[in-house]
Amino acid sequence: MTLVYFLIVIGILVFVHELGHFIMAKRAGVRVEKFSLGMGPKLFGYKKGDTDYIISALPLGGYVKMAGENPDEEPTGAQDEFPSKTVWQRAKIAAAGSLTNIVLAFLLMPLVFMVGTYAEGPAKVGYVEKGSPAEKAGFQAGDVIKEINGRRISDWTKALTLIAVNPDTDVAVTLDRSGEKKVLALRPEAVSELRIGSSGLMPDMPAEIGRLRPGLPAEKAGLRVNDKILAVNGKTIYHWNQFSLTVKESEGKDLLILLSREGKRAEKTIKPVMDGGRFVIGVEPAVRLVFKKYGFFESVQMGFTKTLETADLTFITLKKLFTFSLSIKTLGGPVMIAQMSGQAAAAGLSAFIALMATISLSLGMLNLLPIPVLDGGMLLFLAIEAVRKRPLSQKVMEVSQGIGAALLITLIAVVSYNDVMRLFFRK
């Protein structure tokens, strides 16, 4: 089913992209010879008017073939050929595919909130890891993050994303501490081979048991799901990570656990055991999220805001990648998209739509980069033509597109390598 969901996502996004080119070409009076969903050999199709509508064997792309567009064919000067149109008309055709993907993201994201999604709430700090950049910066449990580098923070997802894309970089964090505004300088440290920024800030997560592992000390001692951990060895516990760290550092010594169960308190003595290289008692946290649906107008507003935030984060990520501040190993290709599609579909319709909107937005933005062979490369050529009052020579364009193709192939090779390493050799 993962493959099916992947094909659905890619099929829809590629179709929308090429449909944008197709519609704008038709509006400009350009003869479209082929509209292909997929690349490679033709599987089946039909012809209507001047256009062959076909499905091709490789589902990882598509194309619209316009009259006079092939450099190997000498333009006849006919008015329905692509080169015969004005710079402005050709620019609109070139940009239409990417812009259609971006528009689709703005249309899809409000559906996420109408269908329903889990409400995160504000980015309230529940725990600060010892010795972490956050502790050094002066963060405290209960702080509510309002801004990072001037960007408004509405939830933990955006806060953690901005922290992740700023490894070894000073960021200004504006927070609310008991009604008082404070600005702290945080420098996330780069962790793992991906060089992802980590701060040591944790969302609010009470030490409440959500699952017991069979046969381990917690189950044997009589702990139950929904028990709340209040203290360990007389030390108050206010966050799951604090409780987990206490167990991990116990060195296997007995722990006196004070818990709350249905309004009553009880004490249990538990001896941690070694499992997977660390001490555990066999419990997992309870995750309580509120699923909420929103009205039409509120969904539109929230969807537009979320799409703009995603676009902003995409810009930041691209900038970090181009300046080598973020590892290229963070990039993923078809395999990662397929995995994410399957996971999102399993999580529900809302998550699946959100993933499709995010990928559509990224696809649109990436295609507008001024790299030959991408839509943005064509726009760059047309901008130069508008300034020079004549097009670049065929030789210059061919060399530029060759370089662009080499860069694109290299990028595809890198993300494919990343996909393979994640799939078969991840730790």
Q: Which residues are catalytic?
A: 18
- Say whether 32 sits in a helix, a strand or coil: strand
d(CA 251, CA 280): 10
Q: What are the distances in angstroms from CA 278 to CA 250, 335, 363, 407?
A: 10, 32, 42, 45
d(CA 8, CA 288): 31
DSSP string spanning 219-284?
A: HHHT--TT-EEEEETTEE--SHHHHHHHHHTTTT--EEEEEEETTEEEEEEE--EEETTEEE-SEE
d(CA 9, CA 355): 9
The torsion of the CA quartet 161, 162, 164, 166, rounded to 10 degrees, works out to 160
Instruction: Answer yes or no: are the C-beta atoms of 213 and 241 closer than 8 Å.
Output: no
d(CA 282, CA 217): 6
Instruction: Answer yes or no: are the C-beta atoms of 314 and 40 closer than 8 Å.
Output: no
225: which 2 tokens? 């799901």
Cα torsion 62, 39, 73, 32: sign? negative
Q: What number of CA atoms fall less than 13 Å from residue 325's CA on the CB side? A: 17
40: which 2 tokens? 């490679």
Cα torsion 334, 337, 343, 347: sign? negative
DSSP code for 31: P
Q: Quickly count helices (H) and strands (E) in the chain.
A: 11, 20
Instruction: Answer yes or no: are the C-beta atoms of 340 and 9 closer than 8 Å.
Output: no
Residue keyed to tokens 């070409």: 25
Instruction: Answer yes or no: are the C-beta atoms of 213 and 247 closer than 8 Å.
Output: no
Instruction: Answer yes or no: are the C-beta atoms of 25 and 64 closer than 8 Å.
Output: yes
